[in-house]
Amino acid sequence: MAVHNYDIVVIGTGPAGESAAINAAKHGMRVAIVEKQAQVGGNCTHWGTIPSKALRHQVKQIMAFNTNRMFRDIGEPRWFSFPKVMERSRSTIDKQVEMRTTFYARNRIDLFHGVARFKDDHTVLVRDRQEGMEELVAKKIVIATGSRPYRPADINFRHPRIYCSDTILSLSHTPRTLVIFGAGVIGCEYASIFSGLGVKVDLINNRDSLLSFLDDEISDALSYHLRKHGVLIRHNEEYASVEGDESGVVVHLQSGKKIRADAFLWANGRTGNTDSLGLENIGLEANSRGQLSVDEHYRTAIPTIYAAGDVIGWPSLASAAYDQGLNSCNELLEKEYRFVSDVPTGIYTIPEISSFGPNERELTEAKIPYEVGKAFFKDTARAQITGDTVGMLKILFHQDTLEILGIHCFGDQASEILHIGQAIMQQEGEANTLKYFVNTTFNYPTMAEAYRVAAQNGLNRVF
Residue stretches of the annotated binding site for FAD: 35-44, 53, 145-147, 310
The binding site comprises: 35-44, 53, 145-147, 182-189, 269, 310
**How many angstroms separate the Cα of 71 from the Cα of each of 59, 77, 78, 229?**
16, 8, 10, 20
CA atoms of 431 and 136, how far apart (whole Å):
49
Amino acid at 385: I
- Residue 231 phi/psi, 5-degree rounding, is -85, 130
3-state class (DSSP) for residue 37: coil
The answer to whether the beta carbons of residues 135 and 1 sit under 8 Å apart is yes
CA 393-395-397 angle, to 5 degrees, is: 175
3-state class (DSSP) for residue 224: helix
CA atoms of 373 and 309, how far apart (whole Å):
34
User: How would you write 149-207 as a 3-class SS string?
Assistant: ECCCCCCCCCCCCEEECCHHHHCCCCCCEEEEECCCHHHHHHHHHHHHCCCEEEEECCC
CA atoms of 137 and 142, how far apart (whole Å):
12
The answer to whether the beta carbons of residues 325 and 15 sit under 8 Å apart is yes
Helices vs strands, H then E, count in the chain: 13, 22
3-state class (DSSP) for residue 125: strand
CA atoms of 454 and 380, how far apart (whole Å):
11
The answer to whether the beta carbons of residues 236 and 213 sit under 8 Å apart is no
Bridge partners (DSSP) listed for residue 11: 34, 143
**How many angstroms separate the Cα of 262 from the Cα of each of 237, 245, 394?**
20, 10, 39
The binding site for NAD(+) comprises: 182-189, 269
Question: Quick one: which H or E segment has residue 52?
Answer: helix 49-67
CA atoms of 29 and 12, how far apart (whole Å):
18
The answer to whether the beta carbons of residues 31 and 2 sit under 8 Å apart is no
